[in-house]
Structure 1
Amino acid sequence: MFAPFRPIIKDPALRLAAVLLVLFGAHAATMAPYVSALAIRVFGLSDSAYSAVLLVASVLSVSASVGLGILADQRANRRAIALGTSAMLIAGSGLVLAGDNAVVFVIANALILPLSASIFGQLFALSRLAASTHPERDRPAILSTLRALFALPWLMVLPIWAVVFDHGAPLTAIYPVTLTLGILIVALTLAFWPRDGATRWPDPKSGLTFRQSLREMANLPILSRVVALGTINGAVMLYLVVMGLVFAATPGRGASDTALYAGLLAGLEVPFMLALPVLVGRVSRTSLIWVGAALYALHLGLLPLLAPTPFVWLLTIPGAAGGAVVLTQPMAYLQDLLSNRPGAGASLMALQKLAGDAFSAAVFAIGTALAGYELAAAAGALLGVIGAGALWAMDRRAARS
Structure 2
Amino acid sequence: MNPWVAILRRHPVVRASAAAIFLYGLAGAATSPYQSVIGIRELGLSDAEYATIALAASITNVFMAIAIGALSDRFQSYRRPLIVAAAFGILGYGTIWAAPSAIVFALATVGPLALFHATNSLLFGNVSAQTARLHADDAQIVNALMRMAISLSWVLVPGAVGLLMIGRDSMIGAYLIAALAAAACLATIVLGLAPDHPRRPLRRSETTPDAIPEGGTGTARVAPSSGRADRPVQVRLPGSVIGDMAQIFRPSLLAPVIGIALISQVLHVNGAVLPLIMTGQAGGQTGDVGFAVGMVALLEVVFMFGWTWSLRYLRVTTALGLSIAIYMGYLVGLALASDPAHIFAASLLAGIGAAGIISIPISYLLDLIQDRPGLSASLIAVNMFLGGAIGAGIFAMGTALQGYPAAAILSGIGGLAGAGLLILLERKSR
| Short-chain TM bin | over 0.9
Q: Do 2:278 and 2:340's aligned partners in 1 also have CA atoms closer than 8 Å?
A: no
In 2, distance between residues paired with 1:94 and 1:146?
26
Residues of 1 paired with 2:44 and 2:294: CA distance? Answer: 26
Q: Deviations over 1:191-220 (max 9, x none)?
A: 222222255322434334224323422222
Q: Which runs of 4+ in 1 moved over 4 A?
A: none
Asked whether the 8 Å contact 2:33–2:275 carries over to 1, the reply is yes
SS at match of 1:378: helix
8 A contact 1:74–1:207 mirrored in 2: no
CA change 1:190–1:283 in 2 (3 A) is same
For residues 276-295 of structure 1, what are the structure 2 equivalents within 5 Å?
276-295=307-326
User: What does residue 17 of structure 2 align with?
Assistant: 17
2:333 to 302, 316, 319: 302
Q: Which consecutive unaligned segments of at least 5 residues does structure 2 have?
A: 197-216, 218-227
| 1:206 paired residue among 237, 243, 261 | 237
Supply the distance in 2 between the matched residues of 1:296 and 1:247 (Cα, whole angstroms): 18
Hey, what's the Cα distance between the residues in 2 that align with 1:38 and 1:157? 17
What pairs with 1:229-268 in structure 2 (closer than 5 Å)? 229-250=260-281, 252-268=283-299
* 1:382 matches 2:403: no
Partner of 1:101: 101
Q: Do the aligned partners of 2:87 and 2:186 also contact (CA within 8 Å) in 1?
A: yes
Cα deviations by residue, 1:329-367 (Å, 9 ceiling, x for unpaired): 111101101121011111111111111111111111111
Name the structure 1 match of 2:370: 339
Name the SS for the 1:328 alignment partner: helix
Partners of 1:319 and 1:2 in 2: CA distance = 28
The share of aligned pairs that are identical, in percent, is 25
2-side partners of 1:386 and 1:290: how far apart? Answer: 10
In structure 2, do the counterparts of structure 1 residues 373 and 7 end up closer, same or farther at CA, with 3 Å as the change threshold?
Answer: same
Determine helix, strand or coil for the equivalent of 1:171.
Answer: coil
Correspondences of 1:156-175 after superposition (within 5 Å): 156-168=156-168, 170-175=170-175
Instruction: Tell me the equivalent position of 1:193.
Output: 193
Letter in 1 for 2:418: G
Gaps of 5+ in 1: none
| Counterpart Cα distance in 1 of 2:364 and 2:56 | 27
AA partner of residue 273 (structure 2): V
2:85 alignment partner in structure 1 = 85
In the superposition, relative to structure 1, how do residues 307 and 231 fare at CA in structure 2: closer, same or farther (>3 Å)?
A: farther
Corresponding residue of 2:111: 111
Q: Evaluate the alpha carbon distance shift between residue 243 and residue 203 of structure 1 in structure 2; reply closer, same or farther with a 3 A threshold.
A: farther
- Aligned pair count reads 399
Instruction: Give the deviation of 1:33 after TM superposition.
Output: 0.5
- State the SS of the aligned residue for 2:172: helix
User: Aligned-pair distance for 1:397?
Assistant: 1.5
Equivalent residues of 2:366, 2:377 under 8 A apart: yes
Shift of 1:302: 2.4
- Tell me if the contact between 1:302 and 1:378 (Cα under 8 Å) persists in the aligned partners: no
Instruction: State the shift of 1:8 in Å.
Output: 1.4
Counterpart contact for 2:162–2:286, Cα < 8 Å: yes
Q: Which residue of 2 aligns with 1:370?
A: 401
Q: Partner of 2:283: helix, strand, or coil?
A: coil
Aligned equivalents of 1:393, 1:31: Cα separation in 2: 37
Which residue in 2 is equivalent to 1:181?
181
Partner Cα distance (2:11, 2:340) in 1: 47
The answer to whether the aligner puts 1:224 opposite 2:252 as a matched pair is: no
Equivalent in the alignment of 2:305? 274
Counterpart-to-counterpart distance in 1, 2:340 and 2:101: 35
Secondary structure, aligned partner of 1:67: helix
Shift of 1:385: 0.7
CA displacement, residues 81-129 of structure 1 (integer Å, 9 cap, x when unaligned): 1111111110001211221222211111122201111110011111112
Counterpart AA for 1:355: L
Deviation at 1:251, TM superposition (A): 5.3
Instruction: Specify which of 386, 395, 398 is matched with residue 426 of structure 2.
Output: 395
- Matched to 1:369, the amino acid is A
1:54–1:361 contact (8 Å) kept in structure 2: yes
In structure 2, the partner of 1:57 is 57
Q: CA RMSD in A?
A: 1.7
30-39 or 211-220, which deviates more: 211-220
Contact 2:54–2:392 under 8 Å retained in 1: yes
**Take 1:396 and 1:144, find their aligned partners in 2: how far apart are those partners?**
26
Q: What amino acid sits opposite 1:393 in the alignment?
A: L
Give the residue type in structure 2 aligned to 1:326.
I
Q: Which amino acid aligns with 1:110?
A: V
SS in 1 for 2:3: coil
Change (3 A) 1:205 1:187: farther
Code of the residue aligned with 1:95 in structure 2: it is T
Q: 1:123 corresponds to which residue?
A: 123
Following superposition, the deviation at residue 133 of structure 1 comes to 4.5
Bigger Rg, which one: 2
Amino acid at match of 2:96: V
Determine the C-alpha separation between the residues in 2 that align with 1:44 and 1:215. 38
Task: Return the letter of the residue paired with 1:132.
Answer: A
Once residues 137 and 398 of structure 2 are traced to their aligned partners in structure 1, the CA distance between those partners, rounded to angstroms, is: 44
* Equivalent-residue separation in structure 2 for 1:333 and 1:136 (angstroms): 12
Letter in 1 for 2:422: L
Q: Does 1:353 align with 2:384?
A: yes
Name the aligned partner's letter for residue 334 of structure 2: L
User: By how many angstroms is 1:255 displaced?
Assistant: 0.7
2:269–2:408: 8 Å Cα contact kept in structure 1? yes
1:244–1:255 contact (8 Å) kept in structure 2: yes
How far apart, CA to CA, are the structure 2 residues paired with 1:210 and 1:168? Answer: 48
CA contact (8 A) 2:274 2:289 kept: yes
Higher helix share: 1
